[in-house]
Amino acid sequence: MINSGSCSSLMEVDYDDDHSHEELHVLAVDDNLIDRKLVEKLLKISSCKVTTAENAIRALEYLDALTNNDLKVNLIITDYCMPGMTGFELLKKVKESSYLKEVPVVIMSSENIPTRVNKCLASGAQMFMQKPLKLSDVEKLINVIS
Amino acid sequence: MELVQMQKNLQDYTKSLFLEGILDSQFLQLQQLQDESNPDFVSQVVSLFFQDSDRILNDLSLSLDQQVVDFKKVDPHVHQLKGSSSSIGAQRVKNACVVFRSFCEQQNVEGCHRCLQQVKQEYYLVKNRLETLFKLEQQIVASGGMIPAMELGF
């Protein structure tokens, strides 16, 4: 057996290749632990595969790691108000990336401020969702994205 | 005590928490996420809420006790607590946090101290009530019964 030059098998990440259920992979970003747990549950109940990140930097690192494997998530759902990089800044970074710009980004916020909502939508957010999230909101969202 | 009586007690108790405004409909949302595959979801999330809130309240006490109060540190803590209490349906804690934030905005130290007391009061109240609620549920489960679904007729 001849190995090809670049021994990259050690770096292989085993991603589930079964698309038979068209399971959406969602990245959920929120600095609040309780909210992270909840959004994860809401998404799992809606039959999504979920990865959570506690801030925008970690989210971007994860997205980069996927990109390096020619992978991307199907949806990013992020809190608006986060320390450090905000959800809005994360949205802009995603939309600026030629590889990621087609990934829908949903912004969540407890404050339904019209200027905030408009700003997010104008910068390419798919949707703005009010917190606390309800199961019906998430199910509706997943139907739209699927 | 008969199982049916225990179940009725639980329903009445839960209903009273809603009528007193201690819990709001978001708590019902939480219960909707619980099923046979994870029967402890609500108590798990609520436990996380208690742990997180204990920490936040401690940090808030320390921050407000400083010679010079740094409101840039205080407000994010209150924002966090407002968010998590809202997410689990702890309505009165959330409302107390809303008031607290307005005093932070005004940089009113006295007002913030009062608010912290109010938030603590509401927090200990909901903590106590939820702990009782979970005990009632445990008694039912231990007796081989099912937790009745919450009737929404109020």
Share of chain B above pLDDT 70, in %: 97
Rounded to the nearest angstrom, the minimum Cα separation between B139 and chain A is 26
Would you state the pLDDT for residue A13? 47
Q: Is A109 domain-assigned?
A: yes
Would you state the pLDDT for residue B151? 61
CATH number of the domain enclosing A122:
3.40.50.2300
Q: Is A125 domain-assigned?
A: yes
Query: Could you give the CA distance from residue B28 to residue B152 in angstroms, rounded to a whole number?
Result: 9
Task: Give the pLDDT mean for A80-102.
Answer: 96
Would you state the pLDDT for residue A15? 52
Tell me the three-class secondary structure of chain A, residue by residue.
CCCCCCCCHHHCCCCCCCCCCCCCEEEEECCCHHHHHHHHHHHHHCCCEEEEECCHHHHHHHHHHHHCCCCCCCEEEEECCCCCCCHHHHHHHHHHCCCCCCCCEEEEECCCCHHHHHHHHHCCCCEEEECCCCHHHHHHHHHHHC
Task: Give the pLDDT mean for A23-27.
Answer: 96
Task: Give the pLDDT mean for B36-63.
Answer: 95
Give the structural domain span for A91. Answer: 25-144
Q: Is A14 domain-assigned?
A: no
Would you state the pLDDT for residue A12? 44
Q: Which of A11-25, A35-49, B14-28, B110-124 is predicted least confidently?
A: A11-25
Q: Is A111 domain-assigned?
A: yes
Would you state the pLDDT for residue A31? 96
Of B84, B93, B126, which to mutate for an interface test with A (greatest number of A Cβ within 10 Å)? B84
What is the residue-averaged pLDDT of chain B?
Answer: 94
Would you state the pLDDT for residue A122? 97
Q: Is A5 domain-assigned?
A: no
Residue A2 has pLDDT above 90, yes or no: no
Q: Is A138 domain-assigned?
A: yes
Residues whose CB falls within 8 Å of the CB of residue B67, separated by 6 or more in sequence, listed in order: none
Between chains, do B33 and A41 touch, taking CB under 8 Å as contact? yes
Q: Please return the burial class of B152, using the count of CB atoms within 10 Å of its CB with bins 0-12, 13-18 and 19+.
A: exposed
Of A31, A35, A36, A38, which to mutate for an interface test with B (greatest number of B Cβ within 10 Å)? A38
Angle at alpha carbon of residue A135, lines to A53 and B36, rounded to 5°:
90
Between chains, do B45 and A132 touch, taking CB under 8 Å as contact? no
**Number of CB atoms found within 10 A of residue B35's CB:** 10
- What is the domain count for chain A? 1
Query: Which of B41, B49, B79 has the CB atom closest to A34's CB atom?
Result: B49
Give the pLDDT confidence of B65-109 residue by residue, as tens digits: 999 999 999 999 999 999 999 999 999 999 999 999 999 999 999
Between chains, do A34 and B32 touch, taking CB under 8 Å as contact? no
Query: Could you give the CA distance from residue B90 to residue B21 in angstroms, rounded to a whole number?
Result: 9
Q: pTM for the full model?
A: 0.88
Q: Is A61 domain-assigned?
A: yes
Give the pLDDT confidence of A29-75 residue by residue, as tens digits: 999 999 999 999 999 999 999 999 999 999 999 999 999 999 999 99
Q: Which of A28-42, A77-91, B32-46 is predicted least confidently?
A: B32-46
Q: Which ipTM score applies to this complex? A: 0.91
Of A33, A34, A35, A82, which to mutate for an interface test with B (greatest number of B Cβ within 10 Å)? A34
Query: Which of A31, A33, A135 has the CB atom closest to B48's CB atom?
Result: A33
Between chains, do B29 and A135 touch, taking CB under 8 Å as contact? yes
With CA atoms as reference, report the closest residue to B127 among B23, B10, B38: B23
Q: Which of A73-77, B106-110, B130-134, B149-153 is predicted least confidently?
A: B149-153
Going along chain B from its start, the domains and CATH numbers come out as 1-32+41-143 (1.20.120.160)
Instruction: Give the residue from chain A lying closest to B53, CA to CA.
Output: A34
Rounded to the nearest angstrom, the minimum Cα separation between A32 and chain B is 7
Between chains, do A35 and B84 touch, taking CB under 8 Å as contact? yes
Q: Predicted confidence band at A119 (pLDDT cuts at 50, 70, 90)?
A: very high
Q: Which of A39-43, A121-125, B145-149 is predicted least confidently?
A: B145-149
Residue A6 has pLDDT above 60, yes or no: no
Q: Is A72 domain-assigned?
A: yes
Residue B152 has pLDDT above 90, yes or no: no
Residue A108 has pLDDT above 50, yes or no: yes
